[in-house]
């Protein structure tokens, strides 16, 4: 995967890849415009949407209703380090969701590739080049 990170002005930083642009900005609380999500917010969004793909596929493969299927995700941060200490996901299931699949859909959502990447973090190589 290759992305191009650009700096369109102010505190904005954008990621361009595969014809998509993902804008980021800093929060209003920090005195910035807050015109887009902060990068750390996109990290939580990546976890939630990845788990969501797994949960959705679980239901579709079993021909279960997805009406009302949703994931609520919240994260707790350490005040000093500003790093997440706990991430909570709660899967809202359709009213007629079979009891026998409740634990299985949680296990399946936990197979998310983004989450698994945290368990085996990649090596980072950061270098410079002149433009």
Q: What is the pLDDT of residue 131?
A: 87
d(CA 74, CA 90): 9
Indicate if the pLDDT at residue 31 is higher than 70. Answer: no
The arithmetic mean of pLDDT across residues 94-117, rounded, is 97
Q: What is the pLDDT of residue 30?
A: 67
d(CA 92, CA 69): 5
The arithmetic mean of pLDDT across residues 100-118, rounded, is 97
β-sheet bridge partners, residue 17: 20
29, 97 in Cβ contact below 8 A? no
Percentage of the chain modeled with pLDDT above 90: 88
d(CA 97, CA 37): 33
* pTM for this model (two decimals): 0.88
Query: What single DSSP character describes residue 121?
Result: P
Angle between helices 39-61 and 102-109 (to 10 degrees): 140
Percentage of the chain modeled with pLDDT above 70: 98
R_g (Cα) of the chain, nearest Å? 18
Q: What is the pLDDT of residue 28?
A: 72
Q: What is the pLDDT of residues 70-84, one digit of tens each?
A: 999 999 999 999 899
């Amino acid at each position: 995967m290759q992305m191009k990170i650009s700096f369109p002005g102010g505190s904005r930083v954008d990621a361009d890849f595969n014809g998509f642009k993902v804008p980021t900005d800093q929060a209003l609380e920090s005195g910035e415009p807050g015109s887009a999500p902060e990068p750390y917010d996109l990290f939580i969004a990546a976890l939630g949407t990845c788990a969501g793909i797994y949960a959705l596929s679980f239901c579709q493969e079993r021909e279960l209703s997805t009406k009302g299927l949703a994931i609520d995700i919240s994260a707790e941060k350490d005040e000093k380090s500003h790093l997440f200490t706990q991430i909570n996901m709660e899967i809202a299931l359709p009213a007629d969701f079979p009891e026998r699949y409740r634990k299985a859909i949680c296990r399946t959502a936990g197979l998310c590739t983004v989450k698994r990447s945290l368990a085996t973090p990649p090596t980072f190589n950061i270098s410079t080049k002149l433009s």
